[in-house]
Amino acid sequence: MMNDSIKKTFSSREEIQAALNKKRDLSRADLSNIDLTGLKLVGFNGEAIKLSKSTFHEGVIMAANMAGADFSGADLAGTVIGMSNLGGATFRDANLRGAKFQMSNLGDVDFSGADLRETLWIASNIADADFSDAAMDGAKSSAVSWVTAGVVPEEIPEPLLSTPRWAPFAVLGLVGSVLAFLFLRRRQKTEYISLDEIE
């Protein structure tokens, strides 16, 4: 377990960027209340990092370990989170509108009260996640098992490739046409042929 002397506090985006350039381990670092718009956190370790009330518009979190991270009250609108471990993180009351979650571990994550409108969820684990009072209007998903969530969202995201309402009627019409064609063809083949005609 890490001791308190390893904790890091940053006061500006420049300090954070310098630490990232040196590939420093940012576990337990405090990045709260900092404007991190567009920052790319790729392939780094930020376990239990604190980003509460930070601004992370259009940011990227990719191939990162941010288990137990605190994003409570943060603004992550349009952020892309991919192939990362955020197990046990909290996004309580965070703005994640338009964010994309792709192939990530979001198990036991607290999304309570979060703005998740127009989000995209692809092949991510949400087991035991809490979606209490989360807004999910316009969200879409693919290969996500919503029933495994600890608190299932009131509005389950629509399938990414939703079927148009007219599609079932088109399929029925096509099947009907094929069956009618096959019936008529079979009827023509089974017409009676007399022995006199054969001779």
State residue 164's pLDDT score. 56
Per-residue pLDDT, averaged over 131-148, amounts to: 97
State residue 191's pLDDT score. 53
Tell whether the model's pLDDT for residue 169 goes beyond 70: no
Bigger pLDDT: 187 vs 10? 10
Per-residue pLDDT tens over the stretch 38-66? 999 999 899 999 999 999 999 999 999 99
State residue 71's pLDDT score. 98
Per-residue pLDDT, averaged over 108-112, amounts to: 98
Per-residue pLDDT, averaged over 75-103, amounts to: 98
Please count the other Cβ atoms lying within 10 Å of the Cβ belonging to residue 182.
10
Looking at every residue in the chain, the average pLDDT score rounds to 87
For residue 84, what are the contacts with CB-CB under 8 A and spacing of at least 6? Answer: 61, 62, 63, 64, 65, 66, 104, 105
Strands (E) located in the chain: 40-42, 60-62, 80-82, 100-102, 120-122, 140-142, 158-159
Ordered alpha helix ranges (H), the chain? 13-21, 167-189, 195-198
For residue 71, what are the contacts with CB-CB under 8 A and spacing of at least 6? Answer: 51, 52, 54, 56, 89, 90, 91, 94
Please count the other Cβ atoms lying within 10 Å of the Cβ belonging to residue 148.
13
CA 125/CA 145 separation, integer angstroms: 8
Q: 74 falls in which pLDDT band (50, 70, 90)?
A: very high
For residue 29, what are the contacts with CB-CB under 8 A and spacing of at least 6? Answer: 7, 8, 9, 10, 19, 46, 49, 50
For residue 176, what are the contacts with CB-CB under 8 A and spacing of at least 6? Answer: none
Note the pTM of the prediction, 2 decimals.
0.78
State residue 124's pLDDT score. 97
